[in-house]
Structure 1
Amino acid sequence: MTQKSHAIGKEKRRVILATMVGTTIEWYDFFIYAICAGLVFSTEFFGALGGDALILSFATVGISFLFRPLGAVIAGHLGDRLGRRAMLILTLVLMGGATVLMGLVPSTAAIGVAAPIILLMLRILQGLSAGGEWGGAALLAVEHAPTTRRGFFGSFPQIGVPIGLLLANGVLAVVTAVTTAEQFLAWGWRIPFLLSAVLIGIGTVIRVRVAESPVFEEVRQSREQSGLPIVPLFKHHWKLVLLGALVFAANNAAGYMTTGGYVQSYSTEVLGMASSPVLIAVMFAAIAWLCTTLLGGWLSDRIGRLRTYKIGFMFQLAWMFPFFALINAANFWLLMLALVLFSVGLGLSYGPQSALYAEMYPTKVRYSGAAISYALGAVLGGAFAPTIAQALQSSTGNVHTVGMYLAVLTVIGLAATFLIKDHSGRTLGDAPEPEHEPVPERT
């Protein structure tokens, strides 16, 4: 009995590591582009195209999000048919490969308009990959978890985002510190992109060793898989898909103030702060986001997924305007304080997401449902959040209009949580239909 228990524990630890490390690598790749959109690409790739180069550069961050739903549909279909693990490996390789190639693309000065076009194509490939990555990682973690710890287990693929942000900002902070501004724009920015080749190898080795989800294996052995999962998903669960997307949109839009590069760009280009201290402040925020995401997952196992979400959204809403007021001080310590406290609401409304989505859908359509809700939420929330924020700030000259925009999305996300039933603790092998009675929230 002891040996069996130890073996099960070892496998669960391997799953946690695989989902966390793989997601970290995926989002390191994604964030490197998002951050460089404000620091590099606006001048080196899009400046010669005319118009507002910064807005155009941020728009390429958002355009990739439009391809996330397609990536989610493809990966969801294959994930519900072939399994979670195969999709995790495929999406990791696609994301990392695109990132490495970005580091090799010549600038517009060297090859003309072909440079931004190639960069955009590779960014779209990243969008397709990101659309399928999260659903597989989240479900693998939650479907391996003990019933009473799904929220906590599911928070580990979630912390891949702040760890990826931490890693991306850390590498860029080092590179900007050891190069001059001219060297960084000429070749230094390419180093973080090329480093992804090493990370792909590490992540692939870890993910190959992970066992398939036991819940999915039960469905596969019973031959109850849906031939085309997206059809029953939208026929029976379209309201859940929409509500899940609205909940994530509120969190994602706020998160992309830092992960999408807007705060970094605003602090350096408008407020005149140096790049290195801004990146360091974002790194501390990423650490806070990591901790509060784990706290959100843990808390959701005790008080319910939706109560945790509501607490997170209310904190996010309350801090929205003080957040931008402190940033406007153009002081390193106040910037760090603003970002760290902003991360509290982000973490509490992000940690429970894997478990919430997994418990919302039946096994036969779970990957498709989780991935598509996530991808649509990313389109509605983070896709053009940096672009919209930049446009609002540029047109009004007032950064608090950005706070108003984010506050509206937060209220919408908060309202959506009141329309979703909390199914915490339900058996994942027999997930409830939307019309069933919810499990009462825990007190």
Structure 2
Amino acid sequence: MTPQPPPAGSEQRKLRQLMAAALVGSSIEAYDFLIYGTAAALVFGEVFFPNSSSLMGTLLSFSTFWVGFLARPLGGLIFGHVGDTFGRKPALVACLALIAVATCAIGLLPTAATIGVAAPILLLVLRFLQGLAAGGHWGGVTLLLTETTRPDRKGRAGTFSQLGTPFGLLLGTGAFLLVGGLVRGQDFLAWGWRIPFLASALLIPVVLFIQLRIEDSPEFRRLQKRAADPATARAKAPILEVVRKHPRRVLLGAGLLCGGNATFYTSVAAVLDYGVRELGLTRNELLMVSLAVSAAAIPVIHIAGSLSDRYGRRPIMLAGAVIMTVWAFPYFWLVDTGSIVSILIAGLVGTSLGAAMVFGPLAAYLTELFEPRIRYSGITLAYQLASIVVSGGTPFLMTALPAATGGTAALSGFLMLMAVCTLGCAWALPETVPRRLAAAEDAAAVPVQL
């Protein structure tokens, strides 16, 4: 007897479970990775580098923040190989488990006052492990989503991996606001800052749910069935094949992230430090701005991804890049007023609108640029190259440049340069939507509606 396919309702229920698990897992993963940036701006200089000046302590803190991004490409190489060879799900589960353990360990780490120089060294090690895990996570969750839905819904599905970043920032900022309101002064420096890190243990149930209830993507399962065919078999060294065959797409794909990443990390980490140290604003005021900017980005990301299914990936991303380019100098003109309302407007236009319009279609777009057999390695390498070059270094530059130049013009120039890079890369890459929608085999292979 020929086995009957599962009913459509069952498939849609599985897809909804996947989307929910992806959103929750991505949000907590982003929370784990991003609370480090908040802590680096507010706490780590005094806790782990107590013998340094305020400026030097912040720079040293942000240098450890950068280490996580330096580790991300290595994590991408490791977990990209796992994802292309053994499956998207095993790689994702391993990444989520590792980042949960590393983040909880940071919350338990003794300070420099207790164990001396070993404290910042251990902090660097744990941040490096966070970076390894984060380097592989995005590719896994993105492919599970985009390879499990039909081609004309991939943009919308991909936003559930992208939405994890603003949701994670909301969770992280909210956690620091809550803990900062309940635990004040020296108690916050002594132990209060640890609570948001220890709360990352909530990721463990998500790991178990994905391991026990979520199947690997249909695309990868088809690759397993076609393993005997050299044209479709899994690559023995996927990352080497990506570098050999698609170096241009990797570099242009990385460039797509430059503007959005620089603008985003300026809003969530650099402005927080700059506003407190240089403008005399309070920590809670600026954290509230971060909350508002993150919340406003959520619907824009989802709408942008959905619109890209209809109008193409490039037009939406080009529009976002233009907004970031035009807004680069007004951004810091508004920040330098010292007005919370002006800083909020700067973030809403630059991050919640410009960067979010680029982030929305990004997951689907990068996925469509690489063939399935090397896709995990391809998208992860592109994504993490931007992280090491732009994301991790932005808070450091945003702290060092004003001190070196005595103003923020250089910061605006940096944001504009990154936005122009995104604009140029989006222009140079091909549109993928018409080609993908014309692939009748893909549409027939994944009949699930989103």
Smaller-chain TM-score bracket: over 0.9
Match of 1:5, as an amino acid? A
Within 5 Å, which residues of 2 pair with 1:328-339? 328-339=336-347
Select 2:103's aligned residue among 99, 102, 107: 99
Residue correspondence of structure 1 range 396-415 to structure 2 within 5 A: 396-415=405-424
Q: Deviations over 1:49-75 (max 9, x none)?
A: 678111111111112211111100110
Matching residue of 1:325: 333
Q: Deviations over 1:201-230 (max 9, x none)?
A: 244324541111001100011111111111
Partner amino acid for 2:209?
V
2:133 matched to which residue of 1?
Answer: 129
1:82 aligns with 2:86: yes
**Quick one: distance in 1 between partners of 2:50 and 2:422?**
36
User: Match of 1:414, SS?
Assistant: helix
The match for 1:435 is: none
Contact 2:91 2:140 in 1 (8 A): yes
Pair 1:301-2:309 in alignment:
yes
Give per-residue Cα distances to partners, 1:216-254, cap 9 Å, x unaligned.
Answer: 100011111111111211111111111101111222121
The equivalent position to 1:418 in structure 2, one of 403, 422, 427, is 427
Shift in Å, 1:287: 0.7
Counterpart among 21, 25, 29 of residue 26 in structure 1: 29
Instruction: Pick one of 345, 350, 355 that aligns with 2:364.
Output: 355
> Is the Cα contact below 8 Å between 1:362 and 1:429 reproduced in 2?
no
Preserved CA contact (<8 Å) 1:246 1:380: no
Aligned-partner residue type, residue 124 of structure 1: F
Q: Secondary structure of the residue that 1:43 maps to in structure 2?
A: helix
Aligned mates of 1:71, 1:246 — CA distance in 2: 19
Distance 1:2 1:366 in 2: 27
Amino acid at match of 2:13: K
Deviation at 1:88, TM superposition (A): 1.1
Question: AA paired with 1:39?
Answer: L
The answer (yes or no) to whether the contact 1:358–1:366 under 8 Å persists in 2 is: yes
Does the CA contact (< 8 Å) of 2:254 and 2:382 recur in 1? yes
Tell me the amino acid that sits aligned with residue 85 of structure 2. Answer: R
Looking at structure 2, the residues matched to 258 and 393 of structure 1 have their Cα atoms a distance apart, in angstroms, of 16
Q: Which amino acid aligns with 1:303?
A: Y
Measure how far apart 1:341 and its partner are.
Answer: 2.0
Partner SS, residue 163 of structure 2: helix
Matched residue, 2:51: 48
Q: Which amino acid aligns with 2:237?
A: L
The residue that corresponds to 1:243 in the other structure is 252
Aligned amino acid, residue 29 of structure 1? D
Tell me, in whole angstroms, the C-alpha distance in 1 between the residues paired with 2:439 and 2:382.
Answer: 20
Gaps of 5+ in 1: 432-443
Map of 2:447 onto structure 1 = none
Tell me the amino acid that sits aligned with residue 36 of structure 1. Answer: A
Identify if the C-alpha distance between structure 1 residues 207 and 158 changes in structure 2 by more than 3 Å, giving closer, same or farther.
Answer: farther
- Structure-1-length-normalised TM-score: 0.93
Alignment size in residue pairs: 430
Please tell me whether the aligned partners of residues 92 and 204 of structure 1 are also in contact (alpha carbons under 8 angstroms): no
Amino acid paired to 1:172? F
> Could you tell me which residue of structure 1 aligns to residue 114 of structure 2?
110
Q: Secondary structure at the match of 1:52?
A: helix
Structure 2 unpaired stretches of 5+ = 228-232, 441-450
Q: CA deviation at 1:42?
A: 1.0
C-alpha distance in structure 2 between counterparts of 1:395 and 1:208, whole Å:
53
Superposed, which structure 2 residues align to 1:251-270 within 5 Å?
251-259=260-268, 261-270=269-278
User: Is the contact between residue 250 and residue 378 of structure 2 (CA under 8 Å) also seen in structure 1?
Assistant: yes
Match for residue 292 of structure 1 among 294, 297, 300: 300
- Matches for 1:54-203 after TM superposition, within 5 Å: 54-203=58-207
| Contact in 2 for aligned 1:38/1:58 (Cα 8 Å) | yes
Secondary structure in 2 matching 1:195: helix
Normalising by structure 2, report the TM-score.
0.92
The one of 369, 372, 377 equivalent to 2:381 is 372
1:166-189 CA distance string (max 9 Å, x none): 100001001111122222111110
Question: Whole-Å Cα distance in 1 between the matches of residues 282 and 189 of structure 2?
Answer: 15
1:106, distance to aligned residue in structure 2 (A): 1.1
SS for the counterpart of 1:361 is coil
User: Against the structure 1 CA distance between its residues 206 and 235, is the aligned structure 2 distance closer, same or farther, given a 3 Å change threshold?
Assistant: closer
Q: Distance in 1 between matches of 2:403 and 2:123?
A: 25
In the alignment, the residues of structure 2 paired with residue 64 and residue 189 of structure 1 have an alpha-carbon distance, to the nearest angstrom, of: 19
Q: Distance in 2 between matches of 1:158 and 1:274?
A: 30
Residue identity matched to 1:161? T
Q: Which residue of 2 aligns with 1:233?
A: 242
Aligned equivalents of 1:164 and 1:56: distance in 2? 24
Which residue is 1:383 aligned to?
A: 392
Q: Which moved more, 1:207-216 or 1:50-59?
A: 50-59
Q: Distance in 2 between matches of 1:28 and 1:220?
A: 34
Q: Is 321-330 or 370-379 further displaced after alignment?
A: 321-330
Shift of 1:428: 9.6
1:189/1:403 CA distance change after superposition, 3 Å: same
Cα shift at 1:429: 12
1:248-274: CA deviations, max 9, x gaps? 122212111133x11111111111111
Q: Distance in 2 between matches of 1:348 and 1:412?
A: 15
CA contact (8 A) 1:176 1:275 kept: no
Task: Check whether the contact 1:85–1:211 (CA below 8 A) recurs between aligned residues.
Answer: yes
User: Once the 2 structures are TM-superposed, how far is the Cα of residue 337 of structure 1 from its aligned partner?
Assistant: 2.3
Q: Which has the higher mean CA deviation after the structures are superposed, 50-59 or 4-13? A: 50-59
| Contact persistence 2:96–2:203 (CA under 8 A) | no
Q: In the TM superposition, what is the alpha-carbon distance from 1:335 to its structure 2 partner?
A: 2.3
Contact 1:139 1:358 in 2 (8 A): yes
1:38 maps to which of 38, 41, 44 = 41
Q: Report the Cα offset of residue 199 of structure 1.
A: 3.0
User: Percent identity, aligned pairs only?
Assistant: 36
Q: Measure the CA separation in 2 of the matches of 1:76 and 1:138.
A: 12
Q: Is the 8 A contact 2:93 2:210 kept in 1?
A: no
From 15, 20, 25, the counterpart of 1:17: 20
Per-residue displacement from partner, 1:339-391 (whole Å, max 9, x unpaired)?
Answer: 22222001101011110111000111000000110010111211211111111
Distance 1:213 1:206 in 2: 12
